Structure 1
Amino acid sequence: ITWITFLLGTLALVGTPFFSGFYSKEHIIEAAGAAHVWGASFAYYATLIGVFVTSLYSFRVYFLVFHGKERFDTSDHGHGHGHDAHGHDDHGHDDHGHGHHGGKPHESPWVVTLPLILLAIPSVLIGAWAVDPMLFGKFFNGVITVLPQHPAMHELHEEWHGWVAFGLHAFQTLPFWLVVAGAVIAWYCYLINPKVPAAIKSSLSGVNKVLENKYYVDWVNEQIIARGLRCLGRGLWQTGDRGIIDGFLINGSARVV
């Protein structure tokens, strides 16, 4: 159950045709491509890159978790050793417990699998039902207003022929093949030839360092912005509060009196 629901969720997340995620993602991409405002072209190509990257990391997780090399101890050595030592002293009991550590994974109980099933169903079905009324119907009337100078959604509406035709047409579009490319590359790099990611990481160590440090956004925030604001706060406190208010206005006036 965990395997199939994870796979269905992955297919929806990457925007596979006829899955729920496909209808929203595809319309975002097409709306960006049809828009005439400044920056729309950048947004369009950025979403295409996002399609590929999303497929790559989503299928990477799927293949590593469910089809990759086993990372748990499947041997019976530790378990048997625990039983042999159990009759001799208390240390045998400790070894027995150690033998059970990292055992073979098993299916989760219903408190986990039931929510997975309930989440998987709409991830497959709800998109086909909701796309027409939500995007081109009256579902958001009075909530979302599209100005006349932004006709992208109106142009998409003119070419809308239903969710089936839209899904079938997607197999001919670039986003679909970017999804396929991401899945195939993830399959090759993490199942067929796992040495490829290590080689790429080694050859692009600078890029890898930037990515591992999350573009240094946290460092800039903590070391420059936050530290600068703390220094500013201390300066205002020392100069304004202690120097001017306490030292001059309060204590200074008291000394004069």
Structure 2
Amino acid sequence: PFIAMLIGLVTALWFYVWDPSMPKRVAETNRPLYLFLLNKWYFDEIFDFLLVRPAKALGQLLWKRGDGDVIDGSINGVAMGLIPRLTRAAGRAQSGYIFTYAFAMVIGIAVLVTWMTMFGGAN
């Protein structure tokens, strides 16, 4: 590190103090190297190509397919398919006669007592 610091110091003194026209001459004679260093070793372009674009594509895919189709689609499917069927079935079950409701309650109590007897801890 120390030697690299000394080389950098001497180069900077040579380029900017002792011979200020040297940077322009070096840039003209070594154009590809000058452009490579000027563009920060093309780090931003490589980073964009290897990481940013694939991450954007993955985010786009997960947004369209994951959120749009799976999450929103399943909620819309339940709301548009299952709920109307259940409401039609419940509408048919409601006859308006009190004995039908009483009979349904008796059946429900019998099912509940049977369930509790078999699985509810009664020994």
- What TM-score, normalized to structure 2? 0.54
Equivalent residue number for residue 211 of structure 1: 37
The aligned counterpart of 2:76 is 251
Task: Please state how far the C-alpha of 1:219 moved relative to its aligned partner.
Answer: 2.3
**Counterpart amino acid of 1:229?**
A
Q: One-letter code of the match for 1:217? A: F
For 1:186 and 1:215, locate their aligned partners in 2 and report how far apart those are by CA, in whole Å. Answer: 20
Aligned pair in 2 of structure 1 residues 227, 201: CA closer, same or farther (>3 Å)? same
Q: Could you say which structure has the larger radius of gyration?
A: 2
Task: Give the CA RMSD over aligned residues.
Answer: 2.2
Runs of 4+ in 1 over 4 A off after TM superposition: none
The alpha-carbon deviation at position 196 of structure 1 amounts to 2.3
Corresponding position of 1:195 = 21
2:6 is aligned with what amino acid?
S
In structure 1, list runs of 5 or more residues that go unmatched: 1-13, 16-50, 60-182
Q: Using the alignment, how far apart are the partners of 2:12 and 2:40 within structure 1?
A: 22
* Number of positions where the alignment pairs a residue of Structure 1 with one of Structure 2: 82
* TM superposition shift of 1:223: 4.9
Structure 2's unaligned 5+ residue stretches are 83-123
Task: Say whether 1:228 aligns with 2:31.
Answer: no
SS, match of residue 194 in structure 1: coil
- Aligned partner of 2:6 in structure 1 is 55
The structure with higher relative contact order (CA 8 Å, sep 6+) is: 1
- For 1:255, the aligned partner's letter is M
Provide the rounded CA distance (Å) in 1 between the counterparts of 2:21 and 2:41.
Answer: 25
| Amino acid in structure 1 at the alignment position of 2:45 | W
Structure 1, residues 147-172: CA drift from partner, whole Å, max 9, x if none? xxxxxxxxxxxxxxxxxxxxxxxxxx
More helix by share: 2
User: How many Å apart are 1:224 and its aligned residue?
Assistant: 4.4
Question: Normalising by structure 1, what TM-score?
Answer: 0.28
